[in-house]
Each structure stands twice: as structure tokens, then as C-alpha cells.
């Protein structure tokens, strides 16, 4: 079997999504997600100019060899653009291999370790009361775990809070980055009362998660973790940026609140110290940005030795292909923790028909051969690329801060 062609498809059925489609001389094809939010065209160029020409004529079954060829062969290692490109190819090749085997992808990874995959949804509100209403809607739909984010008095916008109540949070809506204003002090003074209210209203059984989105220093994160201990969070996500992995030692020393980090990670070296020194509890690295199934499997296996579980990123800037591949992976991976779920737009679901299904707070990946997600190219072409950027953040005095 040989790869005879490969192409990149860009579509915007609500937001920009990039897909690679790899075709073989035997008619079987595979697809992979190559979306990097706000930098979509860089990955398109990387794939079209530097990757696709090298794939033609290769045996698609040699997934590991192709992975090594693209990783080592580029000389320039790691980084989001390169690793997203490698991931897209890798997922498409696993799709082909599983289709040829006539098996759902999880079977090739080692079979199911669980019957269903617990996901968390997003509840967001301009204030605590409207966030509680959204939590109730999630509980009614069966979710066992909900991420809660609410507006902070005195700051016009904050991470995770949608402009329209009841709608998913979607910040990438501008042809140039919007500028947001941030106050760590106001956030730290207000946010613990959100968790207190959720516990009071919904009791102890609901899993509560929260995303700080990289905005604190280690000592501030220690304070927050300590303040929210009485509310038993499932996790506190991305409290600080983590270029300096040992900074998490400070946070760990101050709190028993479980810590999740890593949706921006691309490789094991981004998180090796965090894992090895048991400084975190959940790893957010995801298939589409961390080098595909081949690489994330290596990271997850390493993490298992240090009691670190997976909690893959699953926002809507990851296409249904990543969701499908992740659900196969989650069904297999022994050290599974939880999977993020943010519903895609109806249009996106139609462009990417899929076998995965939601039922009462859990997903199953489906039983069709491959990763179970396809692309309707005719429909995809009806939604052309729209320039869109994530916002940038400034402190109240104008200093650039982490968004
Ligand atoms: O593109 C960036 C988003 O995927 C990110 O802001 C979402 O933090 C996020 C999350 O936890 O889903
Ligand atoms: Mg996050």
C-alpha cells in the first residue's frame, strides 16, 4: 500500500478548522486535524510546502517511521506548528491502519480499558447566579463534571465567560486580536465564592473544574488553591504559564487542590519535570497539538509511572476529528482521568459526520473502523476561511499579560 496523494482542507463552519486527507493507492483514506487556533495558515503552509511532498509513495502502515522522519528529519524540533502538522499526519495514518484492519481505533491501541469516557462540559455566566443556571442545565443533560467560569466584578471581560448567556465561550471573533483587561486582585478576591455557591447548590457529588488560563504567579496560585480547598475541585487548570516547570513546586507546597496543565504542550520535554516530580495531577496535552497518537501515547505511558492522569483538551478549536481520536485513546489509556467536551456548532457536526455519541455525561467512540470521523468536502467548501484571532490581555495599567 502506498500514499498516492494528500491535501489540506480549510473550512469555517463556525470557526476555522484545518484537515489533512491522505489517500492511498488502494482507495482507503484517512483524515487528521491540523487546526492551530489563530495560526491556521502557518500549519497549512507547513503541511503543503514541507510535509505532503515527502509523504507521496510512502507505506502508510509505517506510522512510527513516518513520525520519526517528520520529527527528526526536520532538524527543527517541537513547536506548535510542526507538532500540529505531525499530529495531523499521524492521526490520518492511524485512521487508515484501523480502516484496513476493519477495527475501531481503540482496538489497535490495546482494546478498551473502560466502557465509557467521562467528559466535563462548560458552564459560564456573567455572574455567579447565571453560572449556576448553566450548571443546572448541564446536570439536567447528565454531565457528572462541569467547568465553571463567571464574570469578575470590575473587569469588563474575562476568560471563559461568553457574551451571550447560554452560548459557548468563543473569543476568536476578530480579524485582529481584541484587547482584554485583567486584574488578578479582583479575580482572586471574587472567584472562590463561585465554587462555594456551586457546592451549596449542587452538593458534593458534582465534579467542579476551573480554568485560570495562565494568569497567576506561583504564589498567587498557591493562595487560590488553598482558598478553594473546602470546595474540593476536581482540578484547577493552568494556574500559571509553565516555561519554568519547577515553579509548580511552589504551588504544590501550598495546596492539595489537584492541578491540571498542558493544553499548550507539544512534547514530553514540555512536561517531563512536572510529571517526574509529581507536581501535577492531570495532563492536558492533546493529540492534535502534541504530535498525534504516537507521541501522546509515549507521554501518557510515562505519566502513568508518576500517578498523573490524562485530561485532554477538547475545546471547539479542536475539530471533531480530534474529539473522535481522543475518545478512542481515552477508551484505551490506563491512566485516564477525564475528557473536555465543548459541543461544536451544528454546521461543524454536519461537515464532520462522526460515530461518537454522548449519553448521560459519558461518550463512547463508536464501533466503525478507523477513528470514526469523516469529512463532507462539498459542505466544507461552503464555509471559507475567516481570519480570526484569540484576544490579548493587558493589566489595568496597560501592561501586556497572559491571556
Ligand atoms: O485556542 C485556545 C483554546 O482552546 C483555549 O483557550 C481553551 O483553555 C481552553 C480550554 O481549557 O478549553
Ligand atoms: Mg484551558
Last residue of a domain, one of 71, 104, 137: 104
Q: Can you give the pLDDT at residue 171?
A: 67
Q: How many Å is the maximal CA-CA distance in the chain?
A: 61
Question: Which residue lies with its CA nearest to atom 12 of ligand 1?
Answer: 315
Does residue 180 form part of some domain?
yes
Does residue 391 form part of some domain?
no
User: Domain of 21: which CATH number?
Assistant: 3.30.390.10
100 lies in the same domain as 147:
no
211 CA → ligand 2 middle, Å = 6
403, 393 contact by CB (below 8 A): yes
Tens digits of residue pLDDT in 121-167: 999 999 999 999 999 999 999 999 999 999 999 998 888 887 776 66
Q: What's the rounded Cα separation, in Å, for the pair 19 and 11?
A: 8
64 lies in the same domain as 86:
yes
112 lies in the same domain as 86:
no
Does residue 402 form part of some domain?
no
28 lies in the same domain as 69:
yes
95 lies in the same domain as 136:
no
Ligand nearest to the CA of 38: 1
**Bridge partners (DSSP) listed for residue 260:** 237, 282
Query: In ligand 1, which atom is closest to the CA atom of 284?
Result: 11
Last residue of a domain, one of 71, 86, 104: 104
Q: Low-confidence residues of the chain, pLDDT below 70?
A: 165-168, 170-174
31 lies in the same domain as 149:
no
104 CA → ligand 2 middle, Å = 29
Sole residue written with cell 486580536: 177
Does residue 17 form part of some domain?
yes
85 lies in the same domain as 125:
no
Question: Which residue lies with its CA nearest to atom 7 of ligand 1?
Answer: 315
Number of domains observed in the structure of the chain: 2
172 lies in the same domain as 64:
no
Query: In ligand 1, which atom is closest to the CA atom of 314?
Result: 12
Q: Can you give the pLDDT at residue 170?
A: 67
Does residue 361 form part of some domain?
yes
286 CA → ligand 2 middle, Å = 11
159 lies in the same domain as 85:
no
| Residue of 261, 315, 341, 392 to test ligand 1 pocket, by largest number of atoms within 8 Å of CB | 315
Does residue 383 form part of some domain?
no
Last residue of a domain, one of 69, 104, 139: 104
Question: Which residues are tagged catalytic?
Answer: 159, 213
User: Domain of 134: which CATH number?
Assistant: 3.20.20.120
29 CA → ligand 2 middle, Å = 32
Tens digits of residue pLDDT in 204-231: 999 999 999 999 999 999 999 999 999 9
240 lies in the same domain as 268:
yes
Full domain range(s) for residue 7: 3-104
Task: Find the residues whose C-beta lies inside 6 A of ligand 1.
Answer: 37, 211, 213, 263, 313, 315, 317, 340, 390
Does residue 238 form part of some domain?
yes
Does residue 290 form part of some domain?
yes
| Residue of 313, 339, 342, 403 to test ligand 1 pocket, by largest number of atoms within 8 Å of CB | 313
Question: Which residue lies with its CA nearest to atom 10 of ligand 1?
Answer: 315
83 lies in the same domain as 173:
no
| Residue of 39, 40, 211 to test ligand 1 pocket, by largest number of atoms within 8 Å of CB | 211
239 CA → ligand 2 middle, Å = 10
175 lies in the same domain as 248:
yes
Amino acid at each position: 500500500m502506498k500514499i498516492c496523494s494528500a491535501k489540506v482542507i480549510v473550512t469555517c463552519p463556525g470557526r476555522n478548522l484545518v484537515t489533512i486527507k491522505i489517500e492511498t493507492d488502494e482507495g482507503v483514506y484517512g483524515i487528521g486535524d491540523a487546526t492551530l487556533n489563530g495560526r491556521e495558515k502557518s500549519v497549512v503552509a507547513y503541511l503543503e510546502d514541507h510535509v505532503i511532498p515527502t509523504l507521496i509513495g510512502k507505506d502508510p502502515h509505517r506510522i512510527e517511521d513516518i513520525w520519526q522522519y517528520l520529527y527528526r528529519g526536520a532538524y527543527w524540533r517541537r513547536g506548535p506548528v510542526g507538532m500540529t502538522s505531525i499530529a495531523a499526519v499521524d492521526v490520518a495514518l492511524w485512521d487508515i491502519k484501523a480502516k484496513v484492519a476493519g477495527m475501531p481505533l481503540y482496538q489497535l491501541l490495546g482494546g478498551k480499558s473502560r466502557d465509557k469516557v467521562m467528559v466535563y462540559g462548560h458552564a459560564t455566566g456573567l455572574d455567579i447566579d447565571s453560572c449556576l443556571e448553566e450548571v443546572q442545565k448541564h446536570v439536567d443533560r447528565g454531565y457528572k463534571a462541569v467547568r465553571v467560569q463567571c464574570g469578575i466584578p470590575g473587569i469588563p471581560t474575562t476568560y471563559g465567560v461568553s457574551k451571550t448567556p447560554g452560548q459557548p465561550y468563543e473569543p476568536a471573533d476578530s480579524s485582529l486580536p481584541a484587547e482584554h483587561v485583567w486584574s488578578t486582585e479582583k479575580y482572586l478576591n471574587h472567584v472562590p465564592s463561585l465554587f462555594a455557591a456551586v457546592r451549596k447548590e449542587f452538593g458534593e457529588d458534582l465534579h467542579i473544574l476551573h480554568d485560570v488560563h495562565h494568569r497567576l504567579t506561583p504564589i498567587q496560585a498557591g493562595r487560590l488553591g488553598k482558598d478553594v480547598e473546602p470546595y474540593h475541585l476536581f482540578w484547577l487548570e493552568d494556574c500559571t504559564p509553565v516555561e519554568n516547570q519547577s515553579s509548580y513546586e511552589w504551588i504544590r507546597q501550598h495546596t492539595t487542590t489537584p492541578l491540571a496543565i498542558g493544553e499548550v504542550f507539544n512534547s514530553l520535554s514540555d512536561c517531563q519535570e512536572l510529571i517526574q516530580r509529581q507536581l501535577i495531577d492531570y495532563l492536558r496535552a492533546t493529540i492534535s497539538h502534541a504530535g498525534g497518537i504516537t507521541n501522546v501515547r509515549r507521554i501518557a505511558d510515562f505519566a502513568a509511572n508518576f500517578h498523573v492522569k490524562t485530561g485532554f483538551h477538547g475545546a471547539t478549536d479542536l475539530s471533531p476529528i480530534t474529539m473522535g481520536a481522543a475518545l478512542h485513546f481515552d477508551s484505551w489509556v490506563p491512566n485516564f482521568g477525564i475528557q473536555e467536551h465543548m459541543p461544536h456548532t451544528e454546521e461543524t457536526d454536519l461537515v464532520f459526520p462522526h460515530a461518537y455519541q454522548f449519553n448521560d455525561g459519558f461518550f463512547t467512540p463508536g464501533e466503525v473502523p478507523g477513528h470514526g470521523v469523516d469529512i463532507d468536502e462539498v459542505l466544507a467548501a461552503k464555509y471559507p476561511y475567516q481570519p480570526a484571532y484569540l484576544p490579548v490581555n493587558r493589566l489595568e495599567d496597560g501592561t501586556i499579560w497572559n491571556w
